[in-house]
Amino acid sequence: MTQTPLVSIIILNWNGWRDTIACVESCRKLTWPNFFIVVVDNGSTDGSEDYLRQKLKDVEIIQSGANLGFAGGNNVGIRRALDRTEYVWLLNNDAVADPVALSRLVEAMEDRNDAGIAGSKIYYHDEPRKIWFAGGLWEKGKLRLRQRGANRIDRGEFEEVSETGSVSGCSMLVRSAVIRNIGLMEECYFLYWEDTEWCARAQAKGYKVLFVPGSRVWHKVSASAQQNSFSQYYYFTRNGFFFLREYDPLLMPLFAVYNLLFGLKCLASLNAQPLRGLARGFIDFVSGKKGQMRPGRDKITS
């Protein structure tokens, strides 16, 4: 590689300025020499924007004006950076990057002209050797019940750069030229599956998606969404059905069976929140409701 392409790092903040500052500080240690950071505050209500402007005076900070969801908030940053940069790196604000994380992603992309998107190997922040992500739930014709490698101690099973169906938006490098070709992230999902949809859309245009294990990131998973929350299962269920209907409809029955079995497990354990989220997510899929969940949709009475 004879050049150092310019990379824009997009970090989306929502009521998490402390995590965002830690994420930015990890980016300051990156070995890749040519990048700039854009932080998008996604309509925070905890004073995040003021704290970020005070603490990160050398970082470009944008206010989205409202909570636009994961895709919508990131799209604000992408629009700002796209014409200035050769690559866009989406990095979760509750993630900490290894110093060589960006270098490994760019190097993998530069080695493969047919690659449009690349993603990192992601670990739990609190358990630094335990894998959170080493491959997505979906590949064409295949659906996993959990992310590849999830909850396993890393013993070197996933060490090869490889083509994959999808990578996580927690750490995702995308060519700017690819974004101009396929469009921005799909905002109607609001939360969950939008990264998978972007990968599927890129592949439909002939681009490859790469898993790059030498790029390592540690994710404060529980900081992003309350585990077992209503909204987590609502968006995962609803958007999973929307995604599969568009890109891999033969897998919809398998996804339905998975949700049914999980719902029965929740019922048996009296775990109401995930069960209600799953049920409302399916109802809203059937009704064709997309975007942010409206207030009161956590009730299953109408």
Between 293 and 62, the more confident residue is: 62
Q: Report if residue 171 sits inside a domain.
A: yes
**Nearest to residue 172, comparing CAs of 133, 206, 138, 139?**
133
pLDDT of res. 295: 65
pLDDT of res. 243: 97
Q: Report if residue 64 sits inside a domain.
A: yes
CA–CA separation, 147 and 170 (whole Å): 13
Q: Report if residue 185 sits inside a domain.
A: yes
Q: What is the pTM of this model?
A: 0.92
Asked if 203 and 264 sit in the same domain, the reply is no
Q: How confident is the model at residue 225 (pLDDT cuts 50, 70, 90)?
A: very low
Last residue of a domain, one of 191, 220, 249: 220
Asked if 113 and 243 sit in the same domain, the reply is no
Q: Report if residue 298 sits inside a domain.
A: no
Q: CATH no. for residue 194? A: 3.90.550.60
Q: Report if residue 274 sits inside a domain.
A: yes
Last residue of a domain, one of 220, 239, 259: 220
CA–CA separation, 166 and 196 (whole Å): 5
**Nearest to residue 123, comparing CAs of 90, 96, 163, 146?**
96
Asked if 140 and 214 sit in the same domain, the reply is yes
Q: How confident is the model at residue 84 (pLDDT cuts 50, 70, 90)?
A: very high
Question: How many CB atoms are located within 10 Å of the residue 211 CB?
Answer: 25
Asked if 130 and 107 sit in the same domain, the reply is yes
CA–CA separation, 230 and 284 (whole Å): 14
Asked if 235 and 208 sit in the same domain, the reply is no
Alpha helix (H) ranges present in the chain? 17-27, 48-55, 69-81, 101-111, 176-182, 194-204, 221-224, 230-247, 252-268, 272-287
Q: Report if residue 138 sits inside a domain.
A: yes
Q: Report if residue 225 sits inside a domain.
A: no
Q: Report if residue 294 sits inside a domain.
A: no
Last residue of a domain, one of 169, 193, 220: 220
User: What's the number of domains the chain is made of?
Assistant: 2
Determine phi and psi for 295, rounding to 5 degrees: -55, 135
The enclosing H or E element of 162 equals strand 162-163
Average confidence (pLDDT) over 75-104: 98
Asked if 47 and 96 sit in the same domain, the reply is yes
Asked if 282 and 153 sit in the same domain, the reply is no
Q: Which structural domain range is residue 276 located in?
A: 230-287
Asked if 166 and 17 sit in the same domain, the reply is yes
